[in-house]
Amino acid sequence: MISIFKFVAMAVTILICFGLPIFLGYTMEKKYKFKAKLITKGIVVGVMVFVISQLVLRSNILNFLSKTQWYGEMARNPILISLFLGLTAGIFEEVGRYIGFRYFMKNSLNWEDGVAFGIGHGGVEAILLVGFTYINNIIYSIMINLGVYDTLVGSKLPNGLGEQLYDQLVNSQSTDFLVGGIERIFAITIQIALSIVVLYGVRKKNFLYLLLAILLHGVVDSPLVYMMIKGVSIMWCEAFVFVCALAGLLFIFKTRKNSDSKVTVENIN
């Protein structure tokens, strides 16, 4: 049986994944009423950049490469595969950000535009990758409690996936389901910070900012992939993401203090 505490934890994670981006977007539009349409545009562009760069391009390219011999050999080396996955995530997402700012938001390149972009980018990531997954988890959990999981789902999933999913839902701790939502808070913070970095590069016409954003993205993702491969405790993984998010949050606040909605980022030191 799935306990009520697990259902509550999953519900909280779903609320975070869907509610936090909506709350942040609404707050930004209320705060910057004079450019609410541009804030909305930034959020929408951020959403589209994530969908195209990650879900359409990178995921399909990785799926194709995973079938090649050289990728299989690289995957056996935890360091190489961690670096590869982390840096490719950085390349696809940060180049996507650059294109978004450079060609779709070229007249909206102030601090709040970068924040709006990051909300859209990180928000849709939270909704699609975690939010909908946890909705499915709740549905499967209800089936388990009703005794119909094996008939309706478990027996129809290939390669033992049904058993793995069942084991995960039944034997995981309630706190494990809460971690996904907490991680999304950290991830959205990081996405906003990276968006501001790339925005600087477009505004200053300095390509080094894009390279810095790619490197920073890799610094976050590659160690995390490595720790997961090595079976490091989820709490230690989340502690690492928390430190990265805290650094990103400090960067966001620092740049906010040095900026004004009517001042270009070229004036930020």
Q: Which of 122, 86, 84 lies closest to 223 in space, CA to CA?
A: 86
- Residue pLDDT, tens place only, 45-93: 999 999 999 999 999 999 999 999 999 999 999 999 999 999 999 999 9
- pLDDT: which is higher, 138 or 153: 138
Ramachandran assignment for 268, one of left (phi > 0), alpha (psi -120 to 50 degrees), beta (any other) = beta
Q: Any idea which of 90-99, 105-114, 238-247, 251-260 has the lowest mean pLDDT?
A: 251-260
SS3 content of the chain, % helix, strand, coil (to 5): 85, 0, 15
Label residue 159 by pLDDT band (50, 70, 90): confident
Q: Would the pLDDT of 266 be above 60?
A: no
| pLDDT at residue 264 greater than cutoff 70 | no
Arithmetic mean of pLDDT, 124-136 = 97
Burial class (CB in 10 A: 0-12, 13-18, 19+), 183: buried
124, 186 contact by CB (below 8 A): no
- With b meaning 16 or more CB within 10 Å and e meaning fewer, what string describes 51-77? bebbeeebeeebeeeeeeeeeeebeee
Question: Residue 110 is encoded by which pair of tokens?
Answer: 């102030």
pLDDT band at 269; cut points 50, 70, 90: very low
The mean pLDDT of the chain is 93
Is the pLDDT at 263 greater than 60, yes or no? no
Give the N- to C-terminal CA distance of the chain in Å, as an integer.
Answer: 56
Q: Which residues contact 70 (CB under 8 A, 6 or more apart)?
A: none
Split at pLDDT 50, 70, 90, the class of 265 is very low
Average pLDDT over residues 226-230: 96
Q: What is the pLDDT of residue 132?
A: 97
Q: What are phi and psi of 32, to 5 degrees?
A: -115, 60
Residue 182 pLDDT exceeds 70? yes
* Residue 216 and residue 197 in contact, taking contact as beta carbons nearer than 8 Å: yes
Identify which of 89, 176, 86, 185 has the alpha carbon closest to the alpha carbon of residue 134.
176
∠ at Cα 187 (182, 190), nearest 5°? 135
Is the separation of the CB atoms in 137 and 121 below 8 Å?
Answer: no
Distances, alpha carbon 240 to alpha carbons 61, 82, 187, 217, 247, in Å: 28, 15, 11, 13, 11
Whether 98 shows a pLDDT value over 50: the answer reads yes
Q: What is the pLDDT of residue 268?
A: 35
pLDDT band for position 169 (cuts 50, 70, 90)? very high
Q: Which of the listed ranges 105-109, 165-169, 214-218 does the model predict with the highest average pLDDT? A: 214-218
Q: Where are the domains of the chain?
A: 4-257
The pLDDT score that the predictor gives to residue 56 is 97
152 pLDDT band, cuts 50/70/90, is confident
Percentage of residues of the chain with pLDDT beyond 90: 84
Predicted local confidence at residue 260, as pLDDT: 53
pLDDT at 27: 96
